Structure 1
Amino acid sequence: MQPLSEHEGVIIPFNRANIDTDLLLPKQYLKSLEACGFGDFLFDDERYLDPGEIDTPIASRRRNPACILNNPPWDKGSVVLAQANFGCGSSREHAVWALRDFGVRVVIAPSFGDIFRNNCFNNGVLPLQLAQQDVDTLFAIVQSQPGICAQVSVSERRLQVGELELDFELEEGRRQRLLQGLDEIGETLAFADRIKAYENMRKAEEPWLFKG
């Protein structure tokens, strides 16, 4: 997993609430269990004028010019700004894979679906939760300055957009995993030597538990 310490990217605004995981990545793309290659299908129903499948050539599909993701500079954006309950709906981790593969490293919203939020942390994407008032202020800035960038510091827990600076809360354990590029399994494997030493100690002290 790619570490996330400092990030700067164009803000992609979606000024609506309850963007669910099916909108982020429709169900037909769940056929693939590979954890990569989903960036072209992010917001698929809004991004294309015709339906697609996992094996439909992207070059053959008609892009919707009204979709923000099809227009510069947002087509290269990496910070999503949205309203409450972002990532609600099903538990599909594929939705986060699609965001990550598109290039998104930070999602800013007043609240998130619980499972989606956990999936973000396990895939190197920061779900940055702010107060509604601060999110509304950010939308006003983005509306007046389309294409503006956000600067996000995980190490300092700080967000800057133009002249606006905001501190945000981030649990220390998750902050460290983002900084080190570790998911929960990777964090556990960092203690592999200690785990092995404990197993060997148990085998020596209680060998009957390991027979057969």
Structure 2
Amino acid sequence: MEKFQTLTAVAVPLEVANCDTDRIIPARFLKMKRSDGYGKRLFNDVRYDGDGNPRPEFPLNKPAYKGARILVADENFACGSSREAAVYALHDAGFRAVIAPSYGDIFFNNCFKNGVLPIVLPADQVAAIRASLAENPGTQLTVDLENQTVTRGNEVWSFEVDPQRKQCLLEGLDDINLTLQHRGEMADFEAKYRADRPWMG
């Protein structure tokens, strides 16, 4: 998993409360392999019209937000079904951080497993950030995970994050790599277990 330490990037606002995972990645695309490019289907049904043409009013289609890597969303972002593909779609489209007042619980947990940092800030702060980004398209934010801050110019917002999840992101450790850090202890346990039970072969 790619390390997450400090990210300075264009941020894009999404003014949709209770944005569910089916809006993020419609169910019909869940048959795809990850290598097929989930990022191309991010927000597919609201981002494109029936002929596959980009809707100019959708934020991700506006030139000023091209290359955005930070999404600033509204409350209860990514609620609904538990599909991990919602995180795949965001990550594969280049997003490494989401800022919102609240999230669907399963999506929130899946973010950490896939190298995306979900930041929780108070609703009034997030609304103010979204408004500023809409007024000044192309504005960059800086997310500093080590210091747990989001910065825009002279403005700084602090956020909380679980210490273990923070360390995993900083070091680029997914669940498997985290477990493998203890391979020595596991090997010692298995050797002792077999020595204590020779009849098990």
1:28-39 matches, within 5 Å, as 28-34=28-34, 37-39=37-39
Partner of 1:63: 54
Identity among equivalent positions (%) equals 39
| One-letter amino acid of the counterpart of residue 131, structure 2 | A
Q: Structure 1's 13 and 30: CA in aligned 2 closer, same or farther, altered over 3 A? A: same
Partner of 1:189: 180
| One-letter amino acid of the counterpart of residue 142, structure 1 | L
1:140-151 matches, within 5 Å, as 140-151=131-142
The alpha-carbon deviation at position 65 of structure 1 amounts to: 1.8
Partner of 2:149: 158
Query: Aligned match of 1:101 in 92, 95, 112?
Result: 92
Match status 1:88 vs 2:79:
yes
How many residue pairs align between the two structures? 201
> Runs in 1 of length 4+ with deviation above 6 angstroms?
none
Q: Within 2, Cα distance between the matches of 1:154 and 1:7?
A: 8
Partner of 1:27: 27
The alpha-carbon deviation at position 132 of structure 1 amounts to: 1.1
Asked if structure 2 preserves the Cα contact closer than 8 Å seen for 1:106 and 1:127, the reply is yes
Residue aligned with 1:155, SS: coil
Asked if structure 2 preserves the Cα contact closer than 8 Å seen for 1:47 and 1:69, the reply is yes
Once structures 1 and 2 are overlaid, which stretch shifts more, 114-123 or 9-18?
9-18
The alpha-carbon deviation at position 162 of structure 1 amounts to: 2.4
Q: Structure 1's 188 and 41: CA in aligned 2 closer, same or farther, altered over 3 A? A: same
| One-letter amino acid of the counterpart of residue 38, structure 2 | F
Asked if structure 2 preserves the Cα contact closer than 8 Å seen for 1:80 and 1:106, the reply is yes
Question: TM-score, with normalisation over the residues of structure 1?
Answer: 0.90
| One-letter amino acid of the counterpart of residue 187, structure 1 | L
Asked if structure 2 preserves the Cα contact closer than 8 Å seen for 1:68 and 1:75, the reply is no
- Runs (5+) with no aligned partner, structure 2: none
Partner of 2:122: 131
Partner of 2:193: 202
Partner of 1:43: 43
Q: Within 1, Cα distance between the matches of 2:159 and 2:145?
A: 9
Q: Within 1, Cα distance between the matches of 2:36 and 2:126?
A: 30
Q: Within 2, Cα distance between the matches of 1:145 and 1:64?
A: 20
Partner of 2:9: 9
The alpha-carbon deviation at position 33 of structure 1 amounts to: 4.0
Once structures 1 and 2 are overlaid, which stretch shifts more, 70-79 or 34-43?
34-43
Q: Structure 1's 62 and 143: CA in aligned 2 closer, same or farther, altered over 3 A? A: closer
Q: Within 2, Cα distance between the matches of 1:35 and 1:95?
A: 15
| One-letter amino acid of the counterpart of residue 34, structure 2 | E
